[in-house]
Amino acid sequence: MCGIVGYTGYREAYPVIIKGLKRLEYRGYDSSGVALLNTGLKVYKKKGKVAELEEDVIGKDLHGHIGIGHTRWATHGEPSDRNAHPHLSNSGNLAMIHNGIIENYVPIKNDLLKKGYSFKSDTDTEVLLNFIEDIQQNNNCGLEEALRIALKRIVGAYCILLISKDDPETIIAARKGSPLVIGIGKGEHFLASDASPIIEYTKEVVYVNDYEIAIIRPDELILKNLGNEKQTPFIQKLDLELAAIEKGGYSHFMLKEIHEQSETIHDCLRGRLLPEVGKIMMGGIENHIDALKNAPRILIVACGTSWHAGLLAEYMIEELCRIPVEVEYASEFRYRNPVIHKGDVIIAISQSGETADTLVALESAKEKGAFIFGVVNVVGSSIARLSHAGAYTHAGPEIGVASTKAFTGQITVLTMMALKIGFAKGTITNERYLQLMNDLNAVPEKVAVILKNTSNIERIAEKYKDAHDFLFLGRGYNFPIALEGALKLKEISYIHAEGYPAAEMKHGPIALVDENLPVVFVATKDSYYEKIVSNVQEIKARKGKVIAVATENDTVIPSMADDVMFVPDADEIIAPLLSVIPLQLLSYFVGIAKGYDVDKPRNLAKSVTVE
């Protein structure tokens, strides 16, 4: 969380930085700020979104060919002007922005206070900055050396950009745990938390690794480790087009991303799923098929929406591959000293590939000898690089904070994985393998059918938008989708929503049911269909309002439900790829009907790079 941008070169830095910050706003939008260097060092910062900063600086001196900018997701210190980054050091010589958390900032701050330092903000960042300044003054050394000493003494995660009045062409950057990409231009360099602010200027980038320091001037990029040894920058070509990170005529990124799903699922399948020859081509699996099919158990580690994809994968892998699977919240897994044996396979699922809890959980599992398979969307991200093998979801950049197309991309990859491993292991018949491949292949077309006309879902959203609570119920493969539907609604509309296995509803949530409670049933035709029909009856008997996701041509569920959202028929293993789409749209339309910023829901951030 928190987005950072830096520029040094021949252009005016301010417009590059502001545009970049807008692209990174999905990482946090509690406050934003810029620092620009020309004859002096100027800092402008403001609580709220980047647009508010832009308004605030109208008429001010924004000149400068070097600058750094930050959009914040608050950790230490409430969102306010004074806690916004960049921060200035006590001498006024240095300005710094930071993405991450310095855990041992309290004793450092106390030491600095004793030495007479004062602090304008409540942030850990201002402490680190003054710590660096103090080291520089005491040791009479350069900024780079002072930074190196400071970084060896702090505990936590960081990506920092630092500029100094004494060296008005240079940005010094360092990373541990929080991402940093450097774009290489001709006579200019760009720095950012991800490639989106860089893409329109250059496609040549370097992903900075943990424990590296970068010294960046218009014509020079020097990479060093914390031991002051030079590292060779590994220059990569970005495979990303500008159009992919723009709204393309849609009113919101979330809506655009929901509508892209027919295409993104197709992209994910393309060249991999070959039903005509009965093959699934996935290098990451083929090269490690023995480790995967002989795994004594599979652990799935993820957070948020990705965790829901993991839960679905548990159902698929256990059914198709007969391998025991456990699905873990990364934040719990990393701290509870889990039992991991050599040979265990860990599947890490992450859109961003940067989620701090997932990343650290994997690092420790890797040390214990587990084989890590990454299912990641962002190419070149930290989790992708840490994994032994993996498969990208190929959903393209996802900007809306609530995950949609990345989720269906994850399910698509995980379904292909389960099919491929199950087939290699001999735990599914040839016939079932081919049938599921064909069903999966038909998904993009069926998604397009759902998206063709969304007015019924918009009507349902308008009807229930004032409800205070929602229940989402599903059984079997539709249970993770019920959880995901509830999470989407919470995130986007701020309505309290809970997802439950439909039968478990009788053990508590049924007490909530009255004529005001909308209950969403994910009730497509599957092996639990008769059971879920009974669950719908139980809600109706208590006057609950039933909204159902039902299979086209079903007549039973629609006859009982107050409102229905239809999806095309599919095998129960494949159906979640369809049944989730109306739920994404429902939360989108409720959020819009309530007048909320659906792309940037309050308090959330897309890439959670703090614990």
The set of catalytic residues is 2, 606
Binding mask 323-352 for ligand G6P (x = CB under 6 A): ---------------------------xxx
What's the closest the beta carbon of residue 235 comes to ligand G6P, in angstroms? 25
CA distances from 346 to 215, 340, 368, 566, 606 (A): 36, 9, 11, 36, 23
Told to check if 306 binds ligand G6P by CB under 6 A, we report yes
Kindly report whether the peptide bond that precedes residue 397 is cis, defined as omega within 30 degrees of 0: no
Contact of 53 with 19, CB cutoff 8 Å: no
The DSSP result for 67-123, as a single string, is EEEEEE--SSS-SSTTTSSPEE-TTS-EEEEEEEEETTHHHHHHHHHHTT---SSS-
Told to check if 401 binds ligand G6P by CB under 6 A, we report yes
Nearest alpha carbon to residue 607 among 419, 376, 418? 376
Length of the chain in terms of residues written: 611
What's the closest the beta carbon of residue 356 comes to ligand G6P, in angstroms? 9
Contact of 572 with 440, CB cutoff 8 Å: no
What's the closest the beta carbon of residue 335 comes to ligand G6P, in angstroms? 17
The upper half-sphere exposure of residue 583, i.e. CA atoms within 13 Å in the direction of its Cβ, equals: 40
Nearer to ligand G6P by C-beta: 127 or 372? 372
Nearer to ligand G6P by C-beta: 196 or 403? 403
Nearer to ligand G6P by C-beta: 148 or 308? 308
**Backbone dihedral region of 287: left (phi > 0), alpha (psi from -120 to 50 degrees) or beta?**
alpha
Nearer to ligand G6P by C-beta: 79 or 509? 79
What's the closest the beta carbon of residue 199 comes to ligand G6P, in angstroms? 19
What's the closest the beta carbon of residue 291 comes to ligand G6P, in angstroms? 23
Nearest alpha carbon to residue 291 among 417, 430, 159? 417
Told to check if 193 binds ligand G6P by CB under 6 A, we report no
Please tell me the distance from the alpha carbon of residue 569 to that of residue 579, in angstroms, as a whole number: 10
Nearer to ligand G6P by C-beta: 68 or 580? 580
Nearest-CB residue to ligand G6P?
Answer: 304
Residue found by looking up tokens 């620009």 in the block: 36
Nearer to ligand G6P by C-beta: 62 or 349? 349
Q: Which helix (H) or strand (E) holds 55?
A: helix 50-56
Told to check if 303 binds ligand G6P by CB under 6 A, we report yes
Nearest alpha carbon to residue 34 among 8, 55, 54? 54
Told to check if 206 binds ligand G6P by CB under 6 A, we report no
From the list 42-50, 129-137, 300-308, 333-341, the region that binds ligand G6P by CB under 6 A is 300-308
Task: Please list the helix, strand and coil fractions of the chain in percent, rounded to the nearest 5, in that order.
Answer: 40, 25, 35
Please tell me the distance from the alpha carbon of residue 5 to that of residue 275, in angstroms, as a whole number: 45
Nearest alpha carbon to residue 90 among 148, 145, 130? 130
The upper half-sphere exposure of residue 530, i.e. CA atoms within 13 Å in the direction of its Cβ, equals: 1
Please tell me the distance from the alpha carbon of residue 63 to that of residue 52, in angstroms, as a whole number: 19
From the list 13-21, 398-406, 494-502, 530-538, the region that binds ligand G6P by CB under 6 A is 398-406
Order of strands across the sheet with 496-501? 496-501, 469-474, 518-522, 545-551, 563-567
From the list 145-153, 254-262, 280-288, 396-404, the region that binds ligand G6P by CB under 6 A is 396-404
Nearer to ligand G6P by C-beta: 305 or 408? 305
Binding mask 568-607 for ligand G6P (x = CB under 6 A): ------------------------------------x-xx
What's the closest the beta carbon of residue 252 comes to ligand G6P, in angstroms? 15
Nearer to ligand G6P by C-beta: 173 or 303? 303
Could you tell me the two tokens for 283? 């290098």
Please tell me the distance from the alpha carbon of residue 353 to that of residue 381, in angstroms, as a whole number: 5
How many chain residues touch ligand G6P (CB under 6 A)?
16
What's the closest the beta carbon of residue 382 comes to ligand G6P, in angstroms? 10
From the list 199-207, 302-310, 545-553, 582-590, the region that binds ligand G6P by CB under 6 A is 302-310
Nearer to ligand G6P by C-beta: 188 or 491? 491
Q: Which helix (H) or strand (E) holds 139?
A: helix 124-139
Could you tell me the two tokens for 383? 């989790």
Nearer to ligand G6P by C-beta: 160 or 604? 604
What's the closest the beta carbon of residue 26 comes to ligand G6P, in angstroms? 9
What's the closest the beta carbon of residue 580 comes to ligand G6P, in angstroms? 13
What's the closest the beta carbon of residue 494 comes to ligand G6P, in angstroms? 14
Told to check if 355 binds ligand G6P by CB under 6 A, we report yes
Interface residue list for ligand G6P (CB under 6 A): 303-306, 350-352, 355, 358, 401-403, 604, 606-608
